[in-house]
Amino acid sequence: MKRRIAVVALVFVAFALIGQQALAVNAHFVSASAAVNSDGSLTVSFKEAGLGDNQLIDYRASADAAATYVCVNNGGGHPSATNKTTVSGPVSATGSFASGKNGNVTASLTLSPPPPPAPAEFSCPPGQALQLALVSYTNVAITDLTNNITEPIPGAVSRCLLPNVRKAC
């Protein structure tokens, strides 16, 4: 009798373990891409599947960024090729998204370029305005912080924001 109870208990434990494995999720990125917007920001778009139903997932998009700022005169020109500065460093954005009933998240996060230097470090002469001319992003990645999964986005993404300003880019 004790043996029969032990066998029945083992069978229930085995089914419980099999059931847990069947319910386990297999989180993985289906796609990830990045594009520079007209304001110099970077939008990282992604789709992740295998998350389980109605789960709140935390994400971080990250990159190494370089932003070149120039002085532009009232006539729309960049009068001196040396009158520019480049600021670089890591940038990131975070967000939380729900997986819904299908266990997928399709979303985007937007990263801002590095800000211009402080006026004490770089400023434009009177009659000229500081403008963002060129941005470049490298080492772009999206990370699922909840499941500790990172998807790198290969290559560098850059954009000249002042194509009509001579010597700006």
| Adjacent-strand bridge partners of 105 | 48
Q: In the predicted model, is pLDDT for residue 5 greater than 50?
A: no
In three-state secondary structure terms, 49 is strand
Mean of pLDDT values over 57-81 = 86
pLDDT at residue 23, as a whole number: 41
pTM of this structure: 0.81
In the chain, what are the domain boundaries? 26-160
- The average confidence (pLDDT) of the chain is 85
Q: Which two tokens stand for residue 71?
A: 């002085």
pLDDT at residue 8, as a whole number: 40
Q: In the predicted model, is pLDDT for residue 51 greater than 80?
A: yes
H or E segment at 56?
strand 56-73
Cα–Cα distance for residue pair 148/153, rounded to 1 Å: 16
Cα–Cα distance for residue pair 9/15, rounded to 1 Å: 10
pLDDT at residue 164, as a whole number: 86
- Give how far Cα 65 sits from Cα of 1, 99, 149, 161, 166, Å: 71, 30, 22, 15, 23
Mean of pLDDT values over 95-105 = 95
Mean of pLDDT values over 11-17 = 43
Tens digits of per-residue pLDDT, 119-161?
888 888 888 889 999 999 999 999 999 999 999 999 999 999 9
Mean of pLDDT values over 74-98 = 85
> In the block, which residue shows the tokens 């029969």?
4
